[in-house]
Amino acid sequence: MHFLTAAKLLLSASLFGAAAAHNIVLPAHGRECFHENLHRDDKMTVTFQVGDREFGSAGNLDIDFWITNPLNQYETFEKSISNGDFSFEAKHDGKYVYCFGNEHWGANTKEVSFNVHGIVYISEADAPQDPLEVEVRKLSEMLEMVKDEQSYIVVRERTHRNTAESTNARVKWWNLFIVGVVVGESLFQVWWLRRFFEVC
């Protein structure tokens, strides 16, 4: 009996974890908003990382991020950031909106990978008393944290790879330019010396 309850809890937690991880593409001058319905004393955390899939992009990964409560007041408002981890506790029942904005930067699109974690407030009388259920819940939370960290590492690796490839391309073209300058200078010096020693 306890095993079935624990298995159901683990399955629902893994499904919630899969539903909580998102990747979106923010177009230039674009904005994407999402919402969560929270009750008083619920806790919510939004973690995100900005990356780009475009080779040779300018490297500007900054976006704006904000969270508004049901009264349209800001819980947080951050400008020009490329990653973040924001937590808050709901003070009111209602819809909390969180947005990612690329409105001030028109050079390129940006990929945002984000996760939303929520802790629903449960009174001590309603809290599970079964130690197996408590342990399964802890394991589920730790598994979700590992999955989130892995998705963060994937985005960081993609961003670093794009930066390295862009740098390699610039070094290659700069070296070709320098070779052209050296060859041109050599030809000019040969022409100049031949002209200098020519007998009229």
**pLDDT at site 34:** 93
Q: Residues 179-200, buried b or exposed e (16+ Cβ, 10 A)?
A: eeeeeeeeeeeeeeeeeeeeee
d(CA 2, CA 68): 40
**pLDDT at site 145:** 80
**pLDDT at site 157:** 86
Q: Is 129 helix (H, G, I), strand (E, B) or coil?
A: coil
Q: In the chain, which residues have pLDDT < 70? A: 1-21, 53-59, 106-107, 119-128, 200
- CA 144 from chain centre, in angstroms, equals 17
Does the domain formed by 2-160 have CATH 3.40.50.1370? no
The residue type at 83: N
Please report the beta strands in 27-109, taking only residues with DSSP state E, as ranges in sequence order. 31-38, 43-51, 63-68, 74-81, 83-89, 94-101
Q: Is the pTM of this model over 0.75?
A: no
